[in-house]
Amino acid sequence: MQHKMAKNTTSTVEQLTSKVWQMADVLAAQGIGNNEYLTQLTYLLFLKMDQERINIFKGESAIPKGYRWNDLVKESGEDLLKQYEKTLNELRNQEDLIGTIFTRAQNKIEKPVYLQKVISMIDGEEWLIMSNDVKGALYEGILEEAGQSTKSGTGEYFTPRALINAMVDVVKPSIKASAGRTETICDPACGTGGFLMAAYDYLKKQTKDQGILEFLNNKALHGADITPLVVTLGSMNLYLHGIGRKSSPIKCEDSLEKQPETLYDVILANPPFGARPSGAVSIDRPDFDVTTNNNQLNFLQHIMNLLNDGGRAAVVLPDNVLNNQAGIKIRQKLLTDFNLHTILRMPPGIFYKPSVKTNVLFFVKGERTNDIWFYDYRTNIHHTLKEKPLKRSDLDDFVMCYNADDLSSRKETYDPNTNPNGRWRKINSSSILTQPDASLDVRWIASEDEGDGGLSMNKTIELLNQLSKLTEKYDNLSDLLSLSPQDAYDEVLDMAIHGTLVNQSNEDEDSIKLLDRISKEKKRLIKEKVIKKQSTAIVPREGEFSLPSKWSWVCVGELFTEMETKHPQNDYFNYIDIDAIDNKNNKAFPKKTLTDSAPSRASRKVEKGDVLFSMVRPYLKNIAKVEEDDCIASTGFYVLHPLLIDPDYCYYCVLSKYFVFGINEFIKGDNSPSVKMDVVKNFLFPLPPIEEQHRIVERLSEILPILQKLKNG
């Protein structure tokens, strides 16, 4: 391959982003996913810019001789592959910035012709002479595109830019003029560095002092992430903005493993939700008030301990942090040793997982809480990731009410008489501390989903209009308006499991490969005694109806698993029995606290996202999705524990008439008092590729809430 330095320096960010994604489409057709492409793009971009530093600016290379861009581009065919792999092996063992960018680097483009295509595309631009703003905007655009692409699998690492910017705007990181530096900023679960970038942009506008800017670029920002992929992407993101030229502010490490050695002025974070990953080091820290495998509770405790006295935090956390039993001591400490002055309640539909409900907690270390101000941007608010994404302007009213310049001058918009649905109100902390569970789950606005009087005529018309717009938007939904809400609900679920609700994509990985990954993951978790051992192997079957080409029929027992059965322990406070099921909305809400005299049936460990249904005959009933972590369920439930499967797809499939009626047909002639486990295990489950599962869930999250309201109303 002949190297030729390109002269085109006028390409716009949009043109470059388009070029990069055209290459992604080319590689996807060869089975190279966006994750793999993004990491290889990052490695090659870094090598190219390092070479430009030599060629254009006569600078010194940061790359050892023999492993530079020019050493790569002179090769072709199999020699190109060998040189590239040799380069990655060498650079991942380097120190400082290079070692971080190339964290655990491996080649994922195994055909020389496609590796050469990517190299040629990168070689066609002069990257280093672009301004940091242009390079940074380009790379951020690529990351954002990847986060919104259901086929990429990277969406879980991204927080909506609109929410990030609003959080930074009210936390207001600042220059400490007397100290000659900026405040220090940390994100202990930083993903691709979105919070760090937003804080940097906010701070750099406050000064032209070169000493302070030098501190900001190299010492003010700190991040960590446990996933090598995002450490690479995040480090490159910051580097392209001119941050961390010598060493990356982001480290590849598990923030929860040890007590913090350095404290910070500002924490901005959206830590991972759910249980602690299997295989990770167990958390038993002396500085924690609660020992649990709940990731978000652990991160909240870590962040509380990570702040300097007077330090400020803004942290995105799921609902169960506000009200679950495991977090009582943590919430009490937040109210007594910290000033938890603001909670912003966010709606579902703004994250990669459409059903996730979150809150942003704003607190200061070293002050006692007096009043907690709640802003409800959830009740009767609806967003979707693609069709109606969250915009920064959606949070303008919250930012205005927050009144960051003078918290003491805040004014409620809520009034019990004149404006009972005002979204901004305060609650005195004493009223929460006197409650046994210290619940911060405060609600006051009338939900359109609730109310004894049902839906008003105006609300019904509004919902029908929303449904009408969806039927116009999606041709295959044109018949919904002619059906009753219940029939329409059933029809949409039926379309979902038949593979006719969303379009198939040639870029989706076949579900057989997903099954292979599930099989390997099962073996690992069984060995670690996390899930029960099962004798069945994963074998696709022929089912009840024809499926799209990349789908598979799989027996339930071969696909799902159960957590290892445990008797009540301190880690699991919440008990789910039949009475805890909301059959109207198919959700499970624990209503009982385990004590020493807990019922003997409370011995089945479940996690958030698991699907339950009653084993008690005469028919399948009490179907629900678990809404909280740290739960023990009655043995009267059958539990489907999704493993590498979208839990919402699992839930919707179980709600379908195919599943409910099919199981009921199985058990109709059985005289036993409960549903036999083998009946469920042998039932066939339609499995799409994981990318299509995500698309189905996103479509259902648009349609089903409307139909649910019409049904309930």
Would you state the structure tokens that stand for residue 360, as one six-digit string?
């942003």
Q: How confident is the model at residue 129 (pLDDT cuts 50, 70, 90)?
A: confident
Residue 76 scores a pLDDT above 60: yes
The residue-averaged pLDDT of 137-153 equals 63
Residue partners of 215: CB distance under 8 A and separation at least 6 = 180, 181, 182
Rounded Cα distance, 280 and 226, in Å: 10
With vertex at residue 86, the alpha carbon angle to CA 82 and CA 87, rounded to the nearest 5 degrees, is 120
Residue 264 scores a pLDDT above 90: yes
The pLDDT value recorded for residue 8 is 41
Would you state the torsion angle of the CA atoms of residues 486, 490, 491, 496, taken in this order, to the nearest 10 degrees? 140
| CATH code for residues 13-130 | 1.20.1260.30
Condensed to tens digits (0 to 9), the pLDDT of residues 373-405 reads 999 999 989 888 777 889 999 999 999 999 999
Rounded Cα distance, 390 and 351, in Å: 9
Residue partners of 129: CB distance under 8 A and separation at least 6 = 9, 52, 56
Q: How confident is the model at residue 273 (pLDDT cuts 50, 70, 90)?
A: confident
Report which of 562, 519, 586 is spatially closest to residue 681, judged by C-alpha positions.
Answer: 562
Residue 49 scores a pLDDT above 90: no
Would you state the structure tokens that stand for residue 341, as one six-digit string?
């002055």
Condensed to tens digits (0 to 9), the pLDDT of residues 412-428 reads 999 988 998 999 999 99
For the chain, the structural domain boundaries read 13-130, 159-433, 511-689
The residue-averaged pLDDT of 263-292 equals 82
CB 27 within 8 A of CB 503: no
Residue 361 scores a pLDDT above 90: yes
With vertex at residue 17, the alpha carbon angle to CA 4 and CA 154, rounded to the nearest 5 degrees, is 120
Rounded Cα distance, 426 and 417, in Å: 16
The pLDDT value recorded for residue 604 is 73
Rounded Cα distance, 439 and 624, in Å: 23
Q: How confident is the model at residue 540 (pLDDT cuts 50, 70, 90)?
A: low
C-alpha dist (Å) from residue 343 to 363, 426, 631, 704: 9, 10, 25, 28
Residue 337 scores a pLDDT above 90: yes
The pLDDT value recorded for residue 97 is 87
Give residue 471's identity as a one-letter amino acid code. Answer: T
Residue 472 scores a pLDDT above 70: yes
615 versus 174: which is more confidently predicted? 174
The pLDDT value recorded for residue 247 is 86
| CATH code for residues 511-689 | 3.90.220.20
Residue 673 scores a pLDDT above 60: no
Residue 274 scores a pLDDT above 80: no
Would you state the torsion angle of the CA atoms of residues 152, 155, 271, 189, taken in this order, to the nearest 10 degrees? 50
Residue 123 scores a pLDDT above 60: yes
Q: DSSP letters along 462-515, please?
A: HHHHHHHHHHHH-GGGTTGGGS-HHHHHHHHHHHHHHT-SS---TTSPPHHHHH
Residue 311 scores a pLDDT above 90: yes
Give residue 575's identity as a one-letter amino acid code. Answer: Y
Report which of 654, 672, 656, 567 is spatially closest to residue 615, judged by C-alpha positions.
Answer: 672
The pLDDT value recorded for residue 593 is 47
Phi-psi region of 245 (alpha: psi -120 to 50; beta: other; left: phi over 0): alpha
The pLDDT value recorded for residue 579 is 67
Rounded Cα distance, 690 and 679, in Å: 26
The pLDDT value recorded for residue 330 is 95
The pLDDT value recorded for residue 440 is 94
The residue-averaged pLDDT of 628-648 equals 80
Residue 6 scores a pLDDT above 60: no
350 HSE (CA, 13 A, CB side):
24
Q: What is the mean pLDDT of the chain?
A: 82
> In 3-state terms, what secondary structure has residue 616?
strand
Report which of 422, 331, 420, 305 is spatially closest to residue 374, judged by C-alpha positions.
Answer: 422
The residue-averaged pLDDT of 569-593 equals 61
Architecture of domain 159-433: 3-Layer(aba) Sandwich (3.40)
Q: How confident is the model at residue 4 (pLDDT cuts 50, 70, 90)?
A: very low
pLDDT cut 90: percent of the chain above it: 32
The pLDDT value recorded for residue 597 is 44
Residue 66 scores a pLDDT above 90: yes
Q: How confident is the model at residue 335 (pLDDT cuts 50, 70, 90)?
A: very high
Residue partners of 98: CB distance under 8 A and separation at least 6 = 46, 62, 63, 91
Residue 690 scores a pLDDT above 60: yes
pLDDT cut 70: percent of the chain above it: 82
Give residue 428's identity as a one-letter amino acid code. Answer: N
Q: How confident is the model at residue 587 (pLDDT cuts 50, 70, 90)?
A: low
Rounded to whole angstroms, the maximal C-alpha distance in the chain is 85
Would you state the structure tokens that stand for residue 431, as one six-digit string?
């009223």
The residue-averaged pLDDT of 1-6 equals 38
Other beta carbons within 10 angstroms of residue 248's beta carbon come to 27
Report which of 136, 117, 149, 142 is spatially closest to residue 39, judged by C-alpha positions.
Answer: 142
The pLDDT value recorded for residue 3 is 37
103 versus 34: which is more confidently predicted? 103
Residue 614 scores a pLDDT above 80: no
Condensed to tens digits (0 to 9), the pLDDT of residues 442-471 reads 988 877 655 445 667 777 888 888 888 888
Q: How confident is the model at residue 1 (pLDDT cuts 50, 70, 90)?
A: very low
> In 3-state terms, what secondary structure has residue 689?
coil
Report which of 520, 370, 490, 362 is spatially closest to residue 430, judged by C-alpha positions.
Answer: 370
The pLDDT value recorded for residue 364 is 97
* Residue 112: cis peptide before it, omega within 30 degrees of 0: no
Report which of 304, 253, 218 is spatially closest to residue 104, judged by C-alpha positions.
Answer: 253
The residue-averaged pLDDT of 529-534 equals 69
Would you state the structure tokens that stand for residue 271, as one six-digit string?
């830590």
Phi-psi region of 554 (alpha: psi -120 to 50; beta: other; left: phi over 0): beta
Residue 488 scores a pLDDT above 70: yes
Bridge partner residues of 360 (DSSP): 316, 344
pTM, two decimals, is: 0.72
